[in-house]
Amino acid sequence: MAEDVMVAGVGMHPFGRYLDSSLKDLVRVAGLRALLDAGIGPKDVQMVYSSNAMAGMLQGQEMVRGQTVLREIGIEGVPVVNVENACAGGSTAFAQAVMAIRSGAADVVLAIGFEKMFVADRSRTLDALESAADLDVVAGLGIQFTAVYGLRLRLRLADGSITRRDLAEVSVKSHANGARNPYAQHQVTVTAEQVLESRCIADPLTLLMCSSICDGAAAVVLARGGVLPRSERPAVRVLASASGSGFTLDPAGGPSGADLCARRAYEQAGIGPGDVDVAEVHDAMAPAELLYAEALGFCPPGEGGRFFRSGATALDGSLPINPSGGLASRGHPVGATGLAQLAELTWQLRGEAGDRQVRRPRIALAQNSGGWLEGESAAVNVHLLERMRPWT
């Protein structure tokens, strides 16, 4: 990767339930905070990638979603590209922004994601969510993400490498992190007993393991290295950006989409999983973290449960995972999630994460997956970020 692409600024609208807020309200907060954080104004943005997944079916704004919300914060005239990749839309916007800078098309690019899933009729939200897979295949089956995750975890419970206690404890850990995150939807701690006793959603998954319907927005300003004035804060650089999309899984086994993208990202960066100091992974169901730790190479295949039980992934562990609380606790407003991960990691690398700050991280990894196709994610993005200044 020849050219340095820097994370110049990040911002979020807290995730939660905002019945009286519009998409524009959410975008205004996240967008202006990111610009302020980058020390620039709306007129400095040369290009925008906008990520939203559901405003067509939920708000009726089927087209030009980005343009309509961005004009409100004074961004107009510049190229705006609306991207959608289900739950991986936010990181897709980020990946495209990196690409736009590398291509020479722009020096300062805004990636912004927003979603408003709370609408009067919840069945519409569920219908839209169902279409994160091929409707010709799944329509009416009633099989959604939760069930797919549940089926995968049952295999692992059967072989004994993960226990029901692990499933509960990983949710306890996520909630403990989320309780320290002012941007999180669920800022409460829970006990393993509460998790196990909460309503069963798709065995072995219970309510307190699952991400919920959520409103929110997140934004990241990316800039070509050297273009924006130096800030007092430690600079954060994009080390790698790797993407893939769903494929038919080899019945004989083989690497998953997250595996493949992680390998590509490590190769781009010239580092290995052992170099990662903190990670945000796509735990739409908290226990997914156990599987992703394996796919991303943080531990050997089959060792996700053991790795977690060792305490490595806790805030004070050797490789903290989801310090933000993850999707299950921070919340999962579909088009915004991937950018919220990158905002969290930027704060962590800069040492600005407050009560949930992990210890002196230098390399951070974000993994964001979306949709599914024959059992594999329809879109996957893995990004690696680096803190440029040594910790003192």
H-state helical runs in 131-255? 135-138, 145-158, 164-178, 192-197
Sheet holding 47-51, edge to edge: 47-51, 108-116, 215-224, 5-16, 236-245, 376-387, 363-373, 278-280
- Any idea what DSSP says for residue 210? B
* C-alpha to C-alpha distance for 306 and 130, rounded to whole angstroms: 33
Q: How far is the CB of 218 from a second copy (least distance, A)?
A: 18
- Tell me which of 13, 186, 282, 332 is the catalytic residue: 332
Q: How far is the CB of 258 from a second copy (least distance, A)?
A: 13
Complex with a second copy: residue 37 or 84, whichever CB lies closer = 84
Complex with a second copy: residue 99 or 172, whichever CB lies closer = 99
Binding region for a second copy (CB under 8 A): 2, 22, 24, 48, 53-54, 56-57, 59-65, 67-68, 71, 76-86, 92, 95-96, 98-100, 102-105, 127-128, 131-136, 139, 243-248, 257, 260, 370-371, 373-374, 378-379
Q: How far is the CB of 59 from a second copy (least distance, A)?
A: 7
Complex with a second copy: residue 11 or 89, whichever CB lies closer = 89
Complex with a second copy: residue 111 or 353, whichever CB lies closer = 111
The alpha carbon dihedral of 266, 271, 272, 273 has a sign of negative
Residue 316: HSE in the Cβ half-sphere, 13 Å Cα cutoff: 2
Q: 12 and 218 in contact (C-beta within 8 Å)?
A: yes
Q: How far is the CB of 27 from a second copy (least distance, A)?
A: 13
Complex with a second copy: residue 59 or 231, whichever CB lies closer = 59
CA neighbor of 262 nearest in space, from 240, 277, 247: 240
Q: For residue 360, which amino acid is it?
A: R
CA neighbor of 92 nearest in space, from 292, 330, 369, 325: 369
State yes or no: is 282 an active-site residue. no
H-helix or E-strand spanning residue 348? helix 337-350
Q: How far is the CB of 22 from a second copy (least distance, A)?
A: 8
Token representation of residue 195: 């998790």
Complex with a second copy: residue 125 or 181, whichever CB lies closer = 125
Residues contacting 151, CB < 8 A, separation 6+: none
Cis peptide before 204 (omega within 30 of 0): yes
- Any idea what DSSP says for residue 248? P
Query: Which residue has tokens 């087209």?
Result: 63
State yes or no: is 200 an active-site residue. no
Q: How far is the CB of 195 from a second copy (least distance, A)?
A: 29
- Tell me which of 13, 87, 210, 282 is the catalytic residue: 87
Q: 207 and 201 in contact (C-beta within 8 Å)?
A: yes
**Residue numbers annotated as active site:** 87, 332
